[in-house]
Amino acid sequence: MSEFRQKCISRTNLVGPFAAIPHPVAVEVMASSGLDFLCIDWEHAQISRETIEAMVRAADVHRVPAMVRVPGHAPEAIQAALDSGAQGVLVPRVSTAEQAAMAVKASRYPPLGERGVGPGRAAGYGYRIPEYLAAANERIVVAVQVETAEGLANIEAIAAVD
């Protein structure tokens, strides 16, 4: 389990702003300030997949975990964010336990989920696939945003999703 995931699970108070300026230099400046993590805002900012990968790489240079707030529940967006090397995803507008479970399923490799294996940055461009697959299910952080009355009514069931 990554140190970042362990801190999230243990409910340690963490400082992590959103990164919405689509440039790696902005991430490097933020990462140099002593943050615990940062979250790249793919939901509301105009950021391409290539730029997300460059922003994650910039955070990695400073050993700051990067999460990506994805633009919705689509498994393809969750997988793309994680394939960039992000240590986690923030999934918006989750209102049911089923939606939360689908997000987790999209972020985990079989047998725990349905994430596809690709030789991208996260897996060392194919050179580290076995090592990456062995650790990824325990390393990745999946967080959800509850933003509706329905979500509040279902908060206990959403929080129970592992």
Tokens 């990067």, located at residue: 66
Strand 88-91 and strand 38-41: pairing?
unpaired
Main-chain dihedrals φ then ψ at residue 66, nearest 5 degrees: -115, 130
Angle at 109 between CA 105 and CA 114, to 5 degrees: 45
User: Who contacts 41 (Cβ-Cβ below 8 Å, separation ≥6)?
Assistant: 18, 19, 20, 47, 69
Residue in 23, 44, 62, 73 annotated catalytic: 44
- Has 44 been annotated as catalytic? yes
| Omega within 30 of 0 (cis) for the link into 75 | no
- Distance, in Å, from the CA atom of 95 to the CA atom of 153, rounded to the nearest integer, reads 8
Main-chain dihedrals φ then ψ at residue 74, nearest 5 degrees: -60, 125
Please identify every residue annotated as catalytic: 44
